[in-house]
Structure 1
Amino acid sequence: MDIGPYLLLASLEGAVTAAVLALTAVGLSLVFGVMRVVNVAHGEFFMLGAVLAWWVTSLVAGHAALGFVLALLVVPVMVGALAALADMTILKRIAYDPERTIVATIGILYIIQQVTLMTYGPDARPVEPPFNTRLALPWIEFVDGKPHIYWPWGLSTTTYKLGVIAAAVLVLIGVWLVMAKSRIGLIMRATQLDRDMALAFGIPVERVYALVFGLGAALAALAAVLIVPIQQAHYLMGGDPLLLSFIVVIIGGLGSLPGTVVAAILIGLSDGIISVFFSPTLAKILATLLVALVLVFRPQGLFGVRRA
């Protein structure tokens, strides 16, 4: 088999990574864009979503789809509510000061991680996907100038991985519609542009902040629920999503949702392709190098706006 089918397979794996990464990074970007808060605990909200997904599915008897759909609906709400509570009880009390919020979210990170370790344990545990049919993929080869379709051995994917990509696209479209077309999106954007003016017009800024912080965590938890049938739930699984989300947000532009999505696709696809042909470590090194180049030559990111 030539390199073409391998490249297609690597691109499909990268597309799954990009889809989950886009959801996670959009949540982080939304929090920073509206609140100007660097949420270091974002990866732990992702991890908590995966662990709670395992817990919910283990409670539901019957077909795996029943437990998974319940987890998909309930877990993001649970994690979002916990994040909103953390905002109201911790971040609000320190007036969202940039330096102190970093320290506070580091504290939230370790609290969530250690409580999960004490209750869930150190073992990685799987979640059964609701559907997982393997699909063979065709490839086109030109012989004497004429296309011929054949089915290379090993060139396949699963319906669940394609479902993850489709679900992420639908959720991202939904987030864009909320931010661009709805009244709550208008309120969020007004709060982002000028907090004091929003207060003057009677917008409950602190409630908006709690909603945004909860929504960002809910998106991370939703991404974790989608990926946990592919990657097992583990109490230390929040590190990589946090690192990659920061890389994506910096490259795309702090607070820019379109830039975050484009950067997530770029990083996700490159990670999948480089990991297959070379090594996952090289993929992380190149992503970090790209961040350094962006910070040097375009500090505001690819889609960000330079502030005066």
Structure 2
Amino acid sequence: MEFGPHLLLATLEGAVTAAILALTAIGLSIVFGVMRVVNVAHGEFFMLGAVFAWSIASFFGSHPAVGFVAAILLAPLIVGALAAGADRLILQRIDYNPERTIVATIGLLYIIQQATLMTFGPDARPVEPPFNSVIALPWLEHTEAGWQVYWPWGLSVTSYKLFIIFAAVAVLSGIWLLMTRTRFGLIMRATQQDREMAQAFGVPVDRVFAYVFGLGAGLAAVGAVLVVPVQQAHYLMGHDPLLLSFVVVIIGGLGSLPGTVIAAVLIGLTDGIISVFFSPTLAKIIATLAVGMVLVFRPRGLMGK
């Protein structure tokens, strides 16, 4: 195995994982940062995004690009609306009590999972990507004649996987602009700093919380819609994204968006590289050890306050 070309391939695969993980974990981090709610059902909202993506793409079955565009626009909105409704129906009624919230979201997890099993079925369903050209990976090699470019046989990446990376960067940039440059972002940050004071100044805190809970679930659904052409929609697919999102949020710092993105990149690249050269199981073990080290030596996380 040539180390250099395979390292490039592993880095690209890790970047795809990091992109999806960053979108999913940012949603979890926003919910915790603003609402101080640990959403155990976050992985199921990810799964719902993938299931709705398959349903919408199947409905608009004339061309893969039409179905994908419809899915990326509609699925996050549907999932976000369902999450906001769950917040108004369940979490607001228990006044966001930390212990009751965890139990309530665990119950919500099983309700969503079993409802999806009864309606969607147990089979995994694929979604055709809108484009999927194979791009050979070039590599530089120094010879007696100087530096030469060659294409290692069999090493390639698809155009859709590169699209996932760029799409995730665009969405994360939009979230940063929303949080720092808009009135809604200012209200979110004010509510995060002091809920009672924001309410005293006329901020409808309950409505803001519903929007934030929906936004977090919608971001998880965006990640699911992007990844479902690479994987397949399945009613049990929310387990791993939930666990990895918690790993990322703990390492980056609870409620810290920059820390979450940095941790997602580190975990994603590590997972991709170790999975290619060793095994996916070893990558998960290292991620778990990283969480333990952070909790021991820096409980606030990389950028937590």
TM-score class, shorter: over 0.9
Please, what is the CA RMSD of the aligned residues? 0.7
What residue is the counterpart of 2:38 in the other structure?
A: 38
Give the 5 Å matches for 1:66-215. 66-144=66-144, 146-215=146-215
Provide the C-alpha distance between the structure 1 equivalents of 2:70 and 2:189, rounded to a whole number of angstroms: 32
Instruction: Report the alpha carbon displacement of residue 144 of structure 1 after superposing the two structures with TM.
Output: 3.0
Provide the C-alpha distance between the structure 1 equivalents of 2:267 and 2:61, rounded to a whole number of angstroms: 38
Provide the C-alpha distance between the structure 2 equivalents of 1:70 and 1:159, rounded to a whole number of angstroms: 20
Q: For structure 1, which segment, 288-297 or 140-149, has the greater mean C-alpha deviation from structure 2 after superposition?
A: 140-149
Q: Which amino acid aligns with 1:74?
A: L
Instruction: Report the alpha carbon displacement of residue 18 of structure 1 after superposing the two structures with TM.
Output: 0.2
What residue is the counterpart of 2:249 in the other structure?
A: 249
Number of aligned residue pairs: give it. 305
Provide the C-alpha distance between the structure 2 equivalents of 1:208 and 1:297, rounded to a whole number of angstroms: 35
Instruction: Report the alpha carbon displacement of residue 293 of structure 1 after superposing the two structures with TM.
Output: 0.3
Q: Secondary structure at the match of 1:254?
A: coil
Q: TM-score with structure 2 length normalisation?
A: 0.99
Q: Which amino acid aligns with 1:290?
A: A
Q: Which amino acid aligns with 1:189?
A: R
Provide the C-alpha distance between the structure 1 equivalents of 2:98 and 2:105, rounded to a whole number of angstroms: 11
- 1:227-276 superposed Cα distances (whole Å, 9 cap, x missing partner): 00000000000000000000000000000000000000000000011111
Q: Which amino acid aligns with 1:167?
A: A
What residue is the counterpart of 2:235 in the other structure?
A: 235
- 1:39-77 superposed Cα distances (whole Å, 9 cap, x missing partner): 000000000100110011111131100011000000000
Provide the C-alpha distance between the structure 2 equivalents of 1:179 and 1:147, rounded to a whole number of angstroms: 46
Provide the C-alpha distance between the structure 1 equivalents of 2:240 and 2:97, rounded to a whole number of angstroms: 26
What residue is the counterpart of 1:288 in the other structure?
A: 288
Instruction: Report the alpha carbon displacement of residue 146 of structure 1 after superposing the two structures with TM.
Output: 2.0
What residue is the counterpart of 1:217 in the other structure?
A: 217
Provide the C-alpha distance between the structure 1 equivalents of 2:94 and 2:145, rounded to a whole number of angstroms: 69
Provide the C-alpha distance between the structure 2 equivalents of 1:126 and 1:162, rounded to a whole number of angstroms: 19
Q: Which amino acid aligns with 1:244?
A: L
- 1:67-125 superposed Cα distances (whole Å, 9 cap, x missing partner): 11000000000000000000000000000000000000000000000000001010001
Runs of 4+ in 1 over 6 A off after TM superposition: none
Q: Which amino acid aligns with 1:150?
A: Y
- 1:7-50 superposed Cα distances (whole Å, 9 cap, x missing partner): 10011000000000000000000000000000000000000100
What residue is the counterpart of 2:52 in the other structure?
A: 52
Q: Is 1:12 the counterpart of 2:2 in the alignment?
A: no
Q: Which amino acid aligns with 2:284?
A: K
Identify unmatched segments of 5+ residues in structure 2. none
Provide the C-alpha distance between the structure 2 equivalents of 1:173 and 1:134, rounded to a whole number of angstroms: 27
Q: Which amino acid aligns with 2:133?
A: T
Q: Secondary structure at the match of 1:140?
A: strand
Provide the C-alpha distance between the structure 2 equivalents of 1:166 and 1:225, rounded to a whole number of angstroms: 14
Q: Which amino acid aligns with 2:234?
A: H
Q: Which amino acid aligns with 2:165?
A: I
Q: Which amino acid aligns with 1:193?
A: Q
Q: Which amino acid aligns with 1:211?
A: Y
Query: Identity of aligned pairs, percent?
Result: 73
Q: Which amino acid aligns with 1:213?
A: F
Instruction: Report the alpha carbon displacement of residue 145 of structure 1 after superposing the two structures with TM.
Output: 7.6
Measured at CA, do residues 145 and 75 of structure 1 come closer, stay the same or move farther in structure 2, by a change above 3 Å?
same
Give the 5 Å matches for 1:260-279. 260-279=260-279
Q: TM-score with structure 1 length normalisation?
A: 0.98
Q: Which amino acid aligns with 1:250?
A: I
